[in-house]
Amino acid sequence: MRAIGSFPRIALVFDDDLQRRRFEDHLGSGARVHPLRGGDDLVKLASARGLDVVVVGVLNRTDYFLRSALRELGTVAPEVIIVGVFEPAAHSLDEAADMAREFTGVGFVAGPGARFDYLARQRVPGGPALTCTPMLLDCMERLPLFGPARPFALLQALHPSCAASVPNQARDLGVSRRSLERWFQGPDLCSAACFQSVCGAAEAAYLRMVRRLADREIAPVVGILTRDGVENPQAVPRTIRTALRIGLEELREAGVAALERAVEAALRTSREPGRKPSQWRLDTRYLPQPDVLTVTMEDRIVLVDPARGVEYPLDELGRAAWPMVTRGAAFAEILATLVAGGKKPAQAVRARLIDWLGELLILELVRREPGAAKAGNGQ
């Protein structure tokens, strides 16, 4: 089995026979495959030093204690590689994200392929994570992701790819592409397609900088292809520069911290900053972030986040709106109060309020709490 190389002893832990057969077919006859249903047999096999790789379905409906078995596996056989397989559904993606935060050495795939082959052969115990998934998940915790945007974003973090089809992924998540895109409009998020490209470029940059992979190895793992669908190693540097808007030399010099900053900045850069976003629902509430203080400085009222050194002076609109934000007022209430107290047309006030709240969201001085679980229509 050429793809997996020196790791021929593989346990497949699935409650779904179809999923298991897909990996068996991919591995071929060169691997010694152990089909397992749950964690007890997995730990016994690993304890006997009979395993190199474990491929585990994130959702196991027959063994509700599989996560405990994986913890035990990390103790009795830390050298064993674990690859998680998620399903394109919100509950599976949430479970996979939780696993990724707990088991930072685990990589995730949607199915067999080049990314799986990379994860199954690359681990060095005690070395850096195989993928930038943990970093991408950290970035996403700081983004205003609601409705279908959240599972879509988790999908990009768990399996970054430049070749995946956004319409197909939207359909797998149970929404149309148009509906999905509504959740990525506004001054504080890029488009869904851009989001996917940034995550794919981040993975490519991470594999280059941290894992020291050659471009010919990165291209199939991240799905950097020609128009004909052929792996395109020559496009790896261009993909990174275009999506992250940062040079490779700068990344090499500044390291992973610079990569994370570039990723978050790219994810927050809207291609249409003037477009009215659907997230500005009338019932969405806005609240200060926990560490934000309101300080008077030389006759000015300034929002301050001491831990990050961020200061934001309030203008006339901000001084009028901030008291409502501090008590978690909905967008509709803030807008109505500002319109009633001023002389400007309602549309002009609404546009300025969106700009102001958008700045605060980008600066992480406020957070959103959605008032409903479906996309708005920009009203």
Helix axes 316-326, 331-340, angle to 10 degrees: 140
List pLDDT tens digits, range 295-344: 988 788 999 988 878 888 999 999 999 999 999 899 999 999 999 877 78
List pLDDT tens digits, range 240-271: 999 998 877 788 887 888 999 999 989 988 75
Mean pLDDT rounded to a whole number for the chain: 86
Question: In this model, does residue 162 exceed pLDDT 90?
Answer: yes
Q: Quote the pLDDT of residue 276.
A: 41
Q: Quote the pLDDT of residue 143.
A: 85
Q: Which residue has the higher pLDDT, 63 or 207?
A: 207
Distance from the Cα of residue 143 to its chain's centroid: 10
Cα 307 to Cα 139: distance, rounded to the nearest angstrom: 18
Q: Tokens representing 112? A: 């067999």
Q: Which residues of 17-38 are buried (b: 16+ CB within 10 A; e: fewer)?
A: eebbebbbebbeeebebbebbb
**How many CA atoms are closer than 13 Å to the CA of 216, on its beta-carbon side?**
0
Domains and CATH numbers, the chain: 1-128 (3.40.50.2300), 131-273 (no CATH), 285-369 (3.90.930)
Q: Which residue has the higher pLDDT, 216 or 368?
A: 216
User: What percent of the chain has pLDDT above 70?
Assistant: 91
Categorize the per-residue pLDDT at 141 as very low, low, confident or very high, splitting at 50, 70 and 90: confident
Please provide the distance, in angstroms rounded to a whole number, between the alpha carbons at the two ends of the chain: 56
Residues 262, 198 contacting (CB under 8 angstroms): no
Residue 14 CB contacts under 8 Å (≥ 6 apart), including other chains: 20, 35, 37, 55, 56, 57, 60, 85
Q: Quote the pLDDT of residue 186.
A: 61
Residues 56, 70 contacting (CB under 8 angstroms): yes
List pLDDT tens digits, range 179-230: 888 788 766 788 899 999 999 999 999 999 999 999 999 999 999 999 888 9
Categorize the per-residue pLDDT at 275 as very low, low, confident or very high, splitting at 50, 70 and 90: very low
Categorize the per-residue pLDDT at 82 as very low, low, confident or very high, splitting at 50, 70 and 90: very high
Residues 84, 42 contacting (CB under 8 angstroms): no
DSSP string covering 242-259, please? HHH---HHHHHHH-HHHH
Global pTM? 0.71
Categorize the per-residue pLDDT at 125 as very low, low, confident or very high, splitting at 50, 70 and 90: low
